Amino acid sequence: MSAGDADLREAFASAHFDEGMTLDRFIFETTRARPEATGQFATLLQQVSLAARMVSSRVNRAGLAGMLGRTGEVNVQGELVMKLDEYANDTFKKALEHPGVVAAVASEEDEDLFLPPARFRSGRYVFCMDPLDGSSNIDVNATIGTIFAIFRRKSEEGTVATMDDVLRPGTDLVAAGYVIYGSGTVLVISTGDGVHGFTLDPVVGEFFLSHPDLRLKPSAKLYSVNEGYAASWDPRIRAWVESRKAPGMGWKQRYIGSLVADFHRNLVKGGVFLYPATDSSPQGKLRVLYEAFPLAFLVEAAGGAATDGRRRILDITPKGLHDRTPLFIGNKVQVDEITAALAAPAGTAG
């Protein structure tokens, strides 16, 4: 981490919160303290906020369009799902490239790295995103979201970014966050020290601080996993999950099937999310760069933990933009327990 990144982290950590704090003001107050700041990071966050509001507005109307589609002759709904994915992808990329704040964007929707045209190439940040996570939930109006992680580029500013700017350990991240489009739209962000949530007032069109300094307790009795795949999990994972259900344990299970929504609930209320390797996804299903990294960054900043069952997620160095990983993320006690269970000899599973 550079001295500038450390300043940024400190400024966010010491931010003063009061009622009516908008995301814009929060960005301004926490970045102006940095003597070397060029304003790029502040602009980047403002553009994320803009894109999030645009996508939120579109997602809110998707239900209505879907309803009309069901009554019409053409199945608009399936098309709309595609369009929303693409819309979110294009909206975030355009919002970020125009002010010249990103050198590259890695997106779940794009096979290759997106490089802004030469006239916008002054950006010093690399943005990794899943523009619309959980998009299979759009047609049932369940919560979906955008997940993002931000690196500062390694290569010289003004040059064309390379894969080395992106394929690096999660410990290099300078910020991460997500936006959920649910019953409300909430943007959660961290620069590594303190995790803050802002809720969109759709009438005013502004994000207001609603969840200052989200912290995870060491332990919680809630797990989120797709148990339909239990037969193909490692037996030690199966044993850990089964042991939650023993009489008197008092555990709850919740699973939406939209990572960003499951994670948000667990971050606010406590809980551990598991997506282990399965027979059909031996490397796990979730992507390192734009799903596991940002959420691991946030969870650690909130006092929790994230591993792939063996090692800390943020210590992984991906080899490709779309690498996958098993993911165990949430309250530290539970993540440590699962990781320890996987370290034990396979035959010892209860």
| Interface with Mg ion (CB under 5 A) | 130, 133
- Of 158, 184, 218, 257, the one binding ligand AHM (CB under 6 A) is 257
- Of 69, 116, 123, 134, the one binding ligand AHM (CB under 6 A) is 134
Which amino acid belongs to residue 254? R
226 interacts with, out of Mg ion, ligand AHM, none, CB within 5 to 8 A per kind: ligand AHM
Any long-range contacts for 60-68 (C-beta under 8 Å, 24+ apart)?
A: 60/181, 60/202, 62/138, 63/141, 66/138, 66/139
77 interacts with, out of ligand AHM, Mg ion, none, CB within 5 to 8 A per kind: none
> 26 vs 148, which CB is nearer to Mg ion?
148
Tell whether residue 40 is a contact of ligand AHM (CB under 6 A): no
Tell whether residue 130 is a contact of ligand AHM (CB under 6 A): yes
> 133 vs 165, which CB is nearer to Mg ion?
133
Burial call 97-112: b when 16+ CB within 10 Å, e when fewer: bebbbbbbbbbbbeee
Closest contact distance (angstroms) between CB of 80 and Mg ion is: 18
Nearest alpha carbon to residue 221 among 82, 334, 74: 334
- Of 91, 135, 334, 339, the one binding ligand AHM (CB under 6 A) is 135
Q: Output DSSP code: residue 306.
A: E
- Residue 200: its H or E element: strand 195-201
Q: How remote is the C-alpha of 120 from its chain's centroid?
A: 26
141 interacts with, out of Mg ion, ligand AHM, none, CB within 5 to 8 A per kind: none
> 36 vs 112, which CB is nearer to ligand AHM?
112
Backbone φ and ψ of 22, nearest 5°: -85, 165
Closest contact distance (angstroms) between CB of 308 and Mg ion is: 17
Instruction: Give, to the nearest 10 degrees, the angle between helix 259-269 and helix 293-301.
Output: 10
Nearest alpha carbon to residue 84 among 139, 127, 123, 128: 139
Closest contact distance (angstroms) between CB of 34 and Mg ion is: 32
Tell whether residue 232 is a contact of ligand AHM (CB under 6 A): no
First-to-last C-alpha distance (Å) of the chain: 42
- Of 38, 171, 199, 226, the one binding ligand AHM (CB under 6 A) is 226
Residues that bind ligand AHM in the complex, under the rule CB under 6 A: 108, 130, 133-136, 226, 257-259, 285
